[in-house]
Structure 1
Amino acid sequence: MKKFFRVLNIVLALGGVYALFCLGLIFSASNHRPENVEGLETIVVLGSRIASDGKPEPTTQERLDASLKLARQHPQARVIVSGYQSAGSPTTEAEGMADYLQAHGLDSSRIIQEKKARNTVENFAFSKKYVRGKVLIVTSDFHLYRSLYLASKLGYENYQGYAATTRTSPLQVAGHYARETLALGYYLIKFTLFSAV
Protein backbone atom coordinates (compact mmCIF):
# COMPACT_ATOMS: atom_id res chain seq x y z
CA MET A 1 0.00 0.00 0.00
CA LYS A 2 2.85 2.40 0.81
CA LYS A 3 4.35 1.74 -2.60
CA PHE A 4 1.01 2.57 -4.26
CA PHE A 5 0.78 5.92 -2.49
CA ARG A 6 4.41 6.69 -3.28
CA VAL A 7 3.76 6.08 -6.99
CA LEU A 8 0.52 8.07 -6.79
CA ASN A 9 2.34 11.02 -5.23
CA ILE A 10 4.99 10.92 -7.94
CA VAL A 11 2.35 10.84 -10.68
CA LEU A 12 0.45 13.73 -9.09
CA ALA A 13 3.65 15.75 -8.68
CA LEU A 14 4.62 15.19 -12.31
CA GLY A 15 1.11 16.10 -13.40
CA GLY A 16 1.28 19.30 -11.38
CA VAL A 17 4.62 20.26 -12.89
CA TYR A 18 3.31 19.58 -16.39
CA ALA A 19 0.15 21.63 -15.71
CA LEU A 20 2.29 24.54 -14.50
CA PHE A 21 4.45 24.23 -17.61
CA CYS A 22 1.37 24.41 -19.85
CA LEU A 23 -0.06 27.31 -17.87
CA GLY A 24 3.22 29.17 -18.25
CA LEU A 25 3.04 28.75 -22.03
CA ILE A 26 -0.56 29.99 -22.07
CA PHE A 27 0.32 33.11 -20.08
CA SER A 28 3.33 33.78 -22.31
CA ALA A 29 0.97 34.71 -25.17
CA SER A 30 -2.01 36.07 -23.25
CA ASN A 31 -0.97 39.73 -23.57
CA HIS A 32 0.21 39.59 -27.17
CA ARG A 33 -1.42 42.51 -29.01
CA PRO A 34 0.83 43.83 -31.78
CA GLU A 35 0.27 47.54 -32.38
CA ASN A 36 1.59 47.80 -35.92
CA VAL A 37 1.17 44.97 -38.42
CA GLU A 38 2.27 46.14 -41.84
CA GLY A 39 0.84 44.58 -44.98
CA LEU A 40 -1.88 42.64 -43.19
CA GLU A 41 -4.13 40.83 -45.68
CA THR A 42 -6.12 38.34 -43.59
CA ILE A 43 -7.71 38.42 -40.15
CA VAL A 44 -8.81 35.00 -38.89
CA VAL A 45 -11.33 35.14 -36.04
CA LEU A 46 -11.61 31.79 -34.30
CA GLY A 47 -15.13 30.60 -33.54
CA SER A 48 -16.81 30.76 -30.17
CA ARG A 49 -20.35 30.40 -28.85
CA ILE A 50 -23.44 32.14 -30.20
CA ALA A 51 -26.30 32.41 -27.69
CA SER A 52 -29.83 31.11 -28.24
CA ASP A 53 -30.93 34.63 -29.25
CA GLY A 54 -28.40 34.65 -32.07
CA LYS A 55 -26.06 37.13 -30.38
CA PRO A 56 -22.42 36.40 -29.54
CA GLU A 57 -21.61 35.20 -26.03
CA PRO A 58 -19.32 37.62 -24.11
CA THR A 59 -16.13 35.73 -25.00
CA THR A 60 -17.13 35.70 -28.67
CA GLN A 61 -17.99 39.39 -28.60
CA GLU A 62 -14.58 40.22 -27.14
CA ARG A 63 -12.92 38.48 -30.11
CA LEU A 64 -15.20 40.31 -32.53
CA ASP A 65 -14.65 43.73 -30.97
CA ALA A 66 -10.90 43.22 -31.24
CA SER A 67 -11.35 42.14 -34.87
CA LEU A 68 -13.43 45.23 -35.68
CA LYS A 69 -10.69 47.48 -34.36
CA LEU A 70 -8.07 45.66 -36.42
CA ALA A 71 -10.24 45.60 -39.55
CA ARG A 72 -10.68 49.38 -39.35
CA GLN A 73 -6.93 49.83 -39.01
CA HIS A 74 -6.35 47.55 -42.02
CA PRO A 75 -9.11 48.25 -44.57
CA GLN A 76 -7.41 46.04 -47.15
CA ALA A 77 -7.68 42.91 -44.99
CA ARG A 78 -10.34 40.24 -45.41
CA VAL A 79 -11.90 38.82 -42.26
CA ILE A 80 -12.50 35.07 -41.92
CA VAL A 81 -15.00 33.99 -39.26
CA SER A 82 -15.05 30.30 -38.49
CA GLY A 83 -17.34 27.96 -36.57
CA TYR A 84 -20.21 25.48 -36.86
CA GLN A 85 -23.74 25.45 -35.42
CA SER A 86 -23.64 24.15 -31.85
CA ALA A 87 -26.55 22.78 -29.86
CA GLY A 88 -28.95 25.48 -28.70
CA SER A 89 -27.73 28.04 -31.21
CA PRO A 90 -30.06 29.25 -33.99
CA THR A 91 -27.16 29.82 -36.36
CA THR A 92 -23.58 28.83 -37.02
CA GLU A 93 -20.85 30.60 -35.12
CA ALA A 94 -19.59 31.97 -38.44
CA GLU A 95 -23.00 33.44 -39.34
CA GLY A 96 -23.56 34.92 -35.89
CA MET A 97 -20.09 36.45 -35.91
CA ALA A 98 -20.54 37.83 -39.42
CA ASP A 99 -23.89 39.37 -38.46
CA TYR A 100 -22.27 41.11 -35.49
CA LEU A 101 -19.42 42.47 -37.61
CA GLN A 102 -21.82 43.79 -40.24
CA ALA A 103 -24.09 45.33 -37.60
CA HIS A 104 -21.05 47.23 -36.34
CA GLY A 105 -20.07 48.63 -39.69
CA LEU A 106 -17.87 46.05 -41.41
CA ASP A 107 -18.76 45.64 -45.08
CA SER A 108 -20.04 42.16 -45.89
CA SER A 109 -17.76 42.00 -48.94
CA ARG A 110 -14.79 41.76 -46.57
CA ILE A 111 -16.19 38.84 -44.56
CA ILE A 112 -15.68 35.17 -45.39
CA GLN A 113 -17.73 32.62 -43.45
CA GLU A 114 -16.36 29.16 -42.75
CA LYS A 115 -19.28 27.24 -41.24
CA LYS A 116 -18.04 23.67 -40.71
CA ALA A 117 -15.29 23.87 -38.10
CA ARG A 118 -16.14 22.22 -34.76
CA ASN A 119 -12.88 22.99 -32.94
CA THR A 120 -9.66 24.98 -33.19
CA VAL A 121 -7.90 22.43 -35.39
CA GLU A 122 -10.78 22.54 -37.88
CA ASN A 123 -10.93 26.35 -37.66
CA PHE A 124 -7.45 26.42 -39.12
CA ALA A 125 -7.81 23.47 -41.47
CA PHE A 126 -11.05 24.68 -43.10
CA SER A 127 -10.08 28.38 -43.19
CA LYS A 128 -6.70 27.81 -44.81
CA LYS A 129 -8.02 27.91 -48.39
CA TYR A 130 -9.29 31.47 -47.80
CA VAL A 131 -6.07 32.79 -46.29
CA ARG A 132 -3.76 35.05 -48.26
CA GLY A 133 -0.66 37.06 -47.41
CA LYS A 134 0.16 38.13 -43.89
CA VAL A 135 -2.29 36.72 -41.33
CA LEU A 136 -3.42 37.90 -37.91
CA ILE A 137 -5.16 35.28 -35.75
CA VAL A 138 -7.64 36.76 -33.29
CA THR A 139 -8.83 34.75 -30.32
CA SER A 140 -9.20 35.00 -26.55
CA ASP A 141 -6.14 35.69 -24.42
CA PHE A 142 -6.32 32.27 -22.74
CA HIS A 143 -6.65 30.56 -26.15
CA LEU A 144 -3.91 32.30 -28.11
CA TYR A 145 -0.87 30.15 -27.33
CA ARG A 146 -2.60 26.91 -28.34
CA SER A 147 -4.00 28.59 -31.44
CA LEU A 148 -0.59 29.73 -32.61
CA TYR A 149 0.85 26.30 -31.85
CA LEU A 150 -1.85 24.57 -33.90
CA ALA A 151 -1.50 27.07 -36.75
CA SER A 152 2.18 26.19 -37.01
CA LYS A 153 1.38 22.46 -37.04
CA LEU A 154 -1.22 22.94 -39.77
CA GLY A 155 1.21 24.67 -42.11
CA TYR A 156 0.35 28.34 -41.63
CA GLU A 157 3.07 30.81 -42.53
CA ASN A 158 3.60 34.54 -42.04
CA TYR A 159 1.14 34.84 -39.16
CA GLN A 160 0.86 36.54 -35.79
CA GLY A 161 -1.64 36.37 -32.97
CA TYR A 162 -3.80 38.97 -31.28
CA ALA A 163 -5.18 38.28 -27.78
CA ALA A 164 -8.68 39.58 -27.10
CA THR A 165 -9.02 40.48 -23.43
CA THR A 166 -11.35 38.23 -21.43
CA ARG A 167 -13.54 40.35 -19.13
CA THR A 168 -15.83 37.75 -17.56
CA SER A 169 -15.90 37.04 -13.80
CA PRO A 170 -12.70 35.86 -12.07
CA LEU A 171 -14.25 32.43 -11.56
CA GLN A 172 -15.08 32.11 -15.26
CA VAL A 173 -11.61 33.29 -16.23
CA ALA A 174 -10.07 30.67 -13.93
CA GLY A 175 -12.27 28.05 -15.58
CA HIS A 176 -11.13 29.14 -19.05
CA TYR A 177 -7.46 28.86 -18.08
CA ALA A 178 -7.98 25.49 -16.37
CA ARG A 179 -9.70 23.99 -19.44
CA GLU A 180 -7.10 25.51 -21.72
CA THR A 181 -4.31 23.94 -19.67
CA LEU A 182 -5.85 20.51 -20.24
CA ALA A 183 -6.42 21.19 -23.95
CA LEU A 184 -2.90 22.46 -24.55
CA GLY A 185 -1.43 19.51 -22.67
CA TYR A 186 -3.45 17.13 -24.85
CA TYR A 187 -2.16 18.64 -28.10
CA LEU A 188 1.44 18.90 -26.91
CA ILE A 189 1.40 15.21 -26.05
CA LYS A 190 -0.44 14.29 -29.24
CA PHE A 191 1.98 16.07 -31.54
CA THR A 192 5.01 14.91 -29.58
CA LEU A 193 3.99 11.26 -29.64
CA PHE A 194 2.17 11.00 -32.96
CA SER A 195 3.34 14.07 -34.96
CA ALA A 196 -0.16 14.48 -36.42
CA VAL A 197 -3.49 15.99 -35.55
Structure 2
Amino acid sequence: MAKGEAARVRILAAAEAAFAEQGFAGTSLRGIGAAIGMGNAALLHHFPNKRRLYAAVLQAIADELHAKLSQPVRGADLHGIAGGFLDWSVARPQAATLILRELLDNPVRAERARSWPMQPLMRQLEAAAARAARGGPMDGQDPMIIAFQVIGAIAYVTAGRRTIAALMETAPDTVIDRLRAALHAQIDAITAAPRAGAAATGGQP
Protein backbone atom coordinates (compact mmCIF):
# COMPACT_ATOMS: atom_id res chain seq x y z
CA MET A 1 0.00 0.00 0.00
CA ALA A 2 1.37 3.41 -1.01
CA LYS A 3 2.24 5.87 1.74
CA GLY A 4 -0.53 8.27 0.79
CA GLU A 5 -3.13 5.49 0.69
CA ALA A 6 -1.97 4.18 4.07
CA ALA A 7 -2.38 7.66 5.56
CA ARG A 8 -5.88 7.91 4.10
CA VAL A 9 -6.86 4.56 5.63
CA ARG A 10 -5.58 5.69 9.04
CA ILE A 11 -7.51 8.96 8.80
CA LEU A 12 -10.75 7.20 7.83
CA ALA A 13 -10.42 4.72 10.71
CA ALA A 14 -9.81 7.49 13.24
CA ALA A 15 -12.61 9.59 11.78
CA GLU A 16 -15.09 6.71 11.93
CA ALA A 17 -14.31 6.21 15.62
CA ALA A 18 -14.63 9.93 16.39
CA PHE A 19 -17.85 10.46 14.42
CA ALA A 20 -19.44 7.36 15.96
CA GLU A 21 -18.59 8.47 19.50
CA GLN A 22 -19.09 12.24 19.24
CA GLY A 23 -21.30 12.79 16.20
CA PHE A 24 -20.59 15.17 13.34
CA ALA A 25 -20.99 18.36 15.37
CA GLY A 26 -18.84 17.16 18.27
CA THR A 27 -15.93 15.98 16.14
CA SER A 28 -13.03 18.19 15.06
CA LEU A 29 -10.37 17.63 12.42
CA ARG A 30 -7.78 18.62 15.02
CA GLY A 31 -8.99 15.85 17.33
CA ILE A 32 -8.92 13.25 14.56
CA GLY A 33 -5.39 14.28 13.59
CA ALA A 34 -4.22 14.18 17.19
CA ALA A 35 -5.58 10.63 17.59
CA ILE A 36 -3.22 9.37 14.89
CA GLY A 37 -0.35 11.80 15.43
CA MET A 38 -1.03 13.80 12.28
CA GLY A 39 -0.99 17.58 12.01
CA ASN A 40 -3.80 19.60 10.49
CA ALA A 41 -1.84 20.40 7.34
CA ALA A 42 -1.21 16.73 6.60
CA LEU A 43 -4.83 15.80 7.26
CA LEU A 44 -6.17 18.65 5.14
CA HIS A 45 -3.97 17.43 2.29
CA HIS A 46 -6.23 14.35 2.09
CA PHE A 47 -9.55 15.91 3.16
CA PRO A 48 -10.03 19.68 2.78
CA ASN A 49 -12.79 19.95 5.39
CA LYS A 50 -14.79 17.97 7.93
CA ARG A 51 -17.79 17.60 5.66
CA ARG A 52 -15.68 15.91 2.95
CA LEU A 53 -14.10 13.61 5.52
CA TYR A 54 -17.47 12.65 6.97
CA ALA A 55 -18.82 11.91 3.50
CA ALA A 56 -15.78 9.72 2.79
CA VAL A 57 -16.35 7.76 6.01
CA LEU A 58 -20.01 7.16 5.15
CA GLN A 59 -19.07 6.15 1.60
CA ALA A 60 -16.49 3.66 2.88
CA ILE A 61 -19.10 2.12 5.18
CA ALA A 62 -21.65 1.98 2.35
CA ASP A 63 -19.12 0.31 0.04
CA GLU A 64 -18.27 -2.24 2.74
CA LEU A 65 -21.95 -3.04 3.27
CA HIS A 66 -22.63 -3.27 -0.45
CA ALA A 67 -19.79 -5.76 -0.87
CA LYS A 68 -21.12 -7.90 1.97
CA LEU A 69 -24.79 -7.81 1.03
CA SER A 70 -24.20 -8.34 -2.70
CA GLN A 71 -22.57 -11.74 -2.20
CA PRO A 72 -24.42 -14.61 -3.92
CA VAL A 73 -25.27 -16.18 -0.56
CA ARG A 74 -27.27 -13.04 0.26
CA GLY A 75 -28.75 -12.41 -3.15
CA ALA A 76 -31.93 -10.39 -3.41
CA ASP A 77 -33.69 -12.26 -0.60
CA LEU A 78 -35.00 -10.10 2.25
CA HIS A 79 -34.03 -12.76 4.80
CA GLY A 80 -30.49 -12.84 3.43
CA ILE A 81 -30.04 -9.06 3.30
CA ALA A 82 -31.47 -8.52 6.79
CA GLY A 83 -29.36 -11.35 8.21
CA GLY A 84 -26.27 -9.97 6.50
CA PHE A 85 -26.88 -6.49 7.86
CA LEU A 86 -27.42 -7.90 11.36
CA ASP A 87 -24.21 -9.94 11.17
CA TRP A 88 -22.31 -6.88 9.93
CA SER A 89 -23.78 -4.64 12.64
CA VAL A 90 -22.71 -7.07 15.37
CA ALA A 91 -19.20 -7.37 13.88
CA ARG A 92 -18.89 -3.61 13.19
CA PRO A 93 -20.69 -1.91 16.11
CA GLN A 94 -18.80 1.35 15.63
CA ALA A 95 -19.86 1.70 12.00
CA ALA A 96 -23.42 0.60 12.84
CA THR A 97 -23.59 3.26 15.55
CA LEU A 98 -22.45 5.88 13.06
CA ILE A 99 -25.27 4.90 10.68
CA LEU A 100 -27.76 5.35 13.52
CA ARG A 101 -26.20 8.69 14.46
CA GLU A 102 -26.50 9.81 10.86
CA LEU A 103 -30.25 9.19 10.97
CA LEU A 104 -30.61 11.09 14.24
CA ASP A 105 -28.17 13.96 13.69
CA ASN A 106 -28.65 14.68 10.00
CA PRO A 107 -31.90 16.71 9.61
CA VAL A 108 -30.21 20.11 9.19
CA ARG A 109 -27.49 18.82 6.86
CA ALA A 110 -30.05 16.79 4.88
CA GLU A 111 -31.32 19.96 3.25
CA ARG A 112 -27.88 20.60 1.76
CA ALA A 113 -26.79 17.03 1.04
CA ARG A 114 -25.83 16.28 -2.56
CA SER A 115 -25.37 12.54 -2.20
CA TRP A 116 -26.59 9.73 0.03
CA PRO A 117 -24.03 6.91 0.40
CA MET A 118 -26.59 4.60 2.05
CA GLN A 119 -29.22 5.08 -0.65
CA PRO A 120 -28.12 2.11 -2.84
CA LEU A 121 -28.45 -0.20 0.19
CA MET A 122 -31.95 1.09 0.91
CA ARG A 123 -32.93 0.66 -2.75
CA GLN A 124 -31.64 -2.91 -2.61
CA LEU A 125 -33.72 -3.53 0.50
CA GLU A 126 -36.74 -1.82 -1.04
CA ALA A 127 -36.58 -4.12 -4.07
CA ALA A 128 -36.18 -7.19 -1.84
CA ALA A 129 -39.11 -6.09 0.34
CA ALA A 130 -41.30 -5.55 -2.72
CA ARG A 131 -40.49 -9.04 -4.00
CA ALA A 132 -41.03 -10.56 -0.57
CA ALA A 133 -44.43 -8.90 -0.10
CA ARG A 134 -45.76 -9.71 -3.56
CA GLY A 135 -48.85 -11.92 -3.29
CA GLY A 136 -48.78 -11.93 0.51
CA PRO A 137 -50.61 -10.05 3.26
CA MET A 138 -48.25 -7.05 2.92
CA ASP A 139 -48.71 -6.77 -0.84
CA GLY A 140 -49.44 -3.14 -1.68
CA GLN A 141 -47.66 -1.76 1.39
CA ASP A 142 -44.81 0.71 0.87
CA PRO A 143 -41.69 -1.48 0.42
CA MET A 144 -39.32 1.34 1.40
CA ILE A 145 -41.08 1.71 4.75
CA ILE A 146 -40.82 -2.06 5.23
CA ALA A 147 -37.10 -1.76 4.45
CA PHE A 148 -36.66 1.04 7.00
CA GLN A 149 -38.54 -0.97 9.62
CA VAL A 150 -36.11 -3.86 9.15
CA ILE A 151 -32.97 -1.68 9.10
CA GLY A 152 -34.25 0.52 11.93
CA ALA A 153 -34.88 -2.44 14.22
CA ILE A 154 -31.42 -3.85 13.54
CA ALA A 155 -29.64 -0.51 13.95
CA TYR A 156 -31.50 0.40 17.15
CA VAL A 157 -31.16 -2.95 18.91
CA THR A 158 -27.53 -3.63 17.96
CA ALA A 159 -26.43 -0.11 18.92
CA GLY A 160 -28.20 -0.31 22.28
CA ARG A 161 -27.92 -4.02 22.99
CA ARG A 162 -26.04 -3.60 26.28
CA THR A 163 -28.62 -1.21 27.67
CA ILE A 164 -31.45 -3.33 26.25
CA ALA A 165 -29.88 -6.44 27.81
CA ALA A 166 -29.88 -4.74 31.22
CA LEU A 167 -33.54 -3.76 30.79
CA MET A 168 -34.42 -7.30 29.73
CA GLU A 169 -32.21 -8.82 32.47
CA THR A 170 -30.38 -10.99 29.99
CA ALA A 171 -27.06 -11.12 28.10
CA PRO A 172 -26.26 -8.89 25.09
CA ASP A 173 -25.76 -11.99 22.90
CA THR A 174 -29.22 -13.19 23.90
CA VAL A 175 -30.69 -9.85 22.79
CA ILE A 176 -29.16 -10.40 19.34
CA ASP A 177 -30.47 -13.97 19.19
CA ARG A 178 -33.96 -12.78 20.07
CA LEU A 179 -33.74 -9.99 17.51
CA ARG A 180 -32.69 -12.48 14.84
CA ALA A 181 -35.64 -14.76 15.68
CA ALA A 182 -38.08 -11.83 15.65
CA LEU A 183 -36.77 -10.61 12.29
CA HIS A 184 -37.17 -14.06 10.75
CA ALA A 185 -40.74 -14.28 12.07
CA GLN A 186 -41.61 -10.79 10.80
CA ILE A 187 -40.14 -11.44 7.35
CA ASP A 188 -41.93 -14.80 7.20
CA ALA A 189 -45.17 -12.93 7.93
CA ILE A 190 -44.44 -10.50 5.09
CA THR A 191 -43.74 -13.33 2.66
CA ALA A 192 -46.66 -15.56 3.70
CA ALA A 193 -48.40 -15.69 0.34
CA PRO A 194 -51.71 -17.58 0.45
CA ARG A 195 -51.43 -21.15 -0.89
CA ALA A 196 -53.63 -22.34 -3.72
CA GLY A 197 -56.54 -24.34 -2.37
CA ALA A 198 -55.99 -23.20 1.24
CA ALA A 199 -59.57 -21.98 1.52
CA ALA A 200 -60.96 -25.28 0.25
CA THR A 201 -58.99 -27.28 2.82
CA GLY A 202 -59.70 -24.98 5.73
CA GLY A 203 -56.17 -23.54 5.57
CA GLN A 204 -54.47 -26.78 6.59
CA PRO A 205 -51.01 -27.63 5.10
Query: Greater strand percent: which structure?
Result: 1
**Structure with higher RCO (Cα < 8 A, 6+ apart):** 1
Does TM-score exceed 0.5, indicating one fold?
A: no
**Structure with max Cα Rg:** 2
Q: TM-score range by the shorter chain?
A: under 0.3
Query: Greater helix percent: which structure?
Result: 2
